[in-house]
Amino acid sequence: MTDDLEPIDPHDAIEWYLEDKRDEYSDSTVEAQSYRLAIFADWLVDERDIENLNEITGRDLMRYKTWRGQNLAKASLKGQLATVRVFLRWSSQIDAVPERLYEKVQLPTMGKSEGSRDVMVDGDEARQIRAYLSEFRYASLWHTYVELLLSGLRVGSIHSLDVPDYDPEEQSLQVVHRPETGTTLKNGEEAERKIAITDKAATVIDDWLAHQRPDVEDDYGREPLLATSQGRAAKQTLRSISYKITRPCFYSSECPDDREIESCEARVRGGDSANKCPSSKSPHPWRRGTITRMLRKTDAPDRAVSGRFDVAPDVIDKHYDRRSEEEKMESRRKWAEDLDEE
């Protein structure tokens, strides 16, 4: 079968693949796949000295899985490898790789007994979902909810927000415990705080309020920030949205679980069974992903993260911090050097 293959550079094959898929996939999906596959192609050339896609073997794919998984949570690795698998299946149609090579891409399995500590919405997944909603459901309830999730708020805190809690000039949100009028925070009054939000989040909230938010009050006469035509969006409604939008087939037209998308049980009844998708996620993994990205990108000390996200430093270390030991060490080194300069 190898004799029938036609030589092609990995980067050229990826460029051809993406061009072929532009009419089938959204711009955000093409962008995400381009990022993932560029890493794969660079690894083939730089680490394995493979400049002809014909030469890839099952052992190469296993080595790539091991290499790529060193700095990724299992759920994130699964999505990355699923893209490679789809690409290799397409590549077999242009005689670039053996017909069934894609089957040798072994996707990691997520057992129900595995700790939820590894489950998070990573940066790549968050960008794809945000880009998809921005393109097709701009400033909708779902889009606005995602911007709030990416701020690191708990779903209970998001549920409690009223329109007056948002300050468009300061670009901030006031989180308040109001048990007497139906909304509570996990840690009560101690969880009350003001948090800054990004320009992008503020713009979406502004447009949601100006153009799409229903003009309704809840049962206590309050104006909920996230509202439906019936009033304040229920916590269960918000949880359901998270499961729906984190299905890979929703934002990328891919299924890393090898299911038939059109007949998948997680897509029936408008997505009401979205939690049956093995790759879908509840709201909490969004919070875990945001906290981890803040720790990685800003080297913020635990006390700063603790204050913003209303979570104790020891809980951050145990349940949220997904940095490797090397990343933690380098962060401590930076702070030690800063102190040394004082």
Contact 53, 91 (CB under 8 A): yes
| pLDDT, position 208 | 98
Whole-number Å distance between alpha carbons of 171 and 335: 29
pLDDT above 70: percentage of residues in the chain: 82
pLDDT(3) > 60: no
Chain mean pLDDT for the chain? 85
pLDDT score recorded for residue 342: 43
Q: Tokens for 41?
A: 């192609």
Give the strand order in the sheet containing 166-167: 166-167, 172-175, 193-196
Q: Quick one: which H or E segment has residue 227? A: strand 227-228
For the segment 285-308, the average pLDDT, to the nearest whole number, is: 71
Provide the terminal-to-terminal Cα distance of the chain, rounded to the nearest Å.
66
Say what the pLDDT of residue 335 is: 46
43 — pLDDT class (breaks 50, 70, 90)? very high
Q: Angle, to 10 degrees, between the axis of helix 235-245 and the axis of helix 141-149? A: 90
The pLDDT, as a whole number, for residue 122 is: 86
The model's confidence at residue 107, banded by pLDDT at 50, 70 and 90, is confident
More confident residue, 51 or 2: 51
d(CA 43, CA 67): 9
The number of C-alpha atoms within 13 Å of 171 and in the hemisphere containing its C-beta is 11
- What the chain holds in terms of domains, given with CATH numbers, is 2-112 (1.10.150.130), 123-276 (1.10.443.10), 287-340 (no CATH)
pLDDT confidence bin for 8, thresholds 50/70/90: very high
29/211: higher pLDDT = 211
Average pLDDT over residues 296-311: 62
Separation of alpha carbons 42 and 29, rounded Å: 20
**pLDDT for residue 91 is more than 60:** yes
Looking up tokens 């069974």 gives 273
The answer to whether residue 237 scores a pLDDT higher than 90 is yes
| Per-residue confidence (pLDDT) for residue 150, from 0 to 100 | 94
pLDDT grade, residue 252 (50/70/90)? confident
Tell me, what's the pLDDT at 112?
45
Torsion sign across C-alpha atoms 129, 132, 137, 138: positive
Choose among 146, 176, 151: nearest CA to 161: 176
Q: Mind giving me the DSSP string for 150-211?
A: TTT--HHHHHH-BGGGEETTTTEEEE--BGGGTB--TTGGGG-EEEE--HHHHHHHHHIIII
In the prediction, which pLDDT does 339 show?
Answer: 41
- The amino acid that residue 5 corresponds to is L
Q: How confident is the model at residue 92 (pLDDT cuts 50, 70, 90)?
A: very high
Give the tens place of pLDDT for each residue, 117-169: 568 898 888 999 999 999 999 999 999 999 999 998 999 999 999 999 999 99
Q: What is the pLDDT of residue 118?
A: 62
Closest residue by Cα to residue 80 from 91, 68, 92:
68
Alpha-carbon distance values, 118 to 113, 254, 279, 280, 329 (Å): 12, 22, 13, 14, 20
Residues 312-317: what's their mean pLDDT?
62
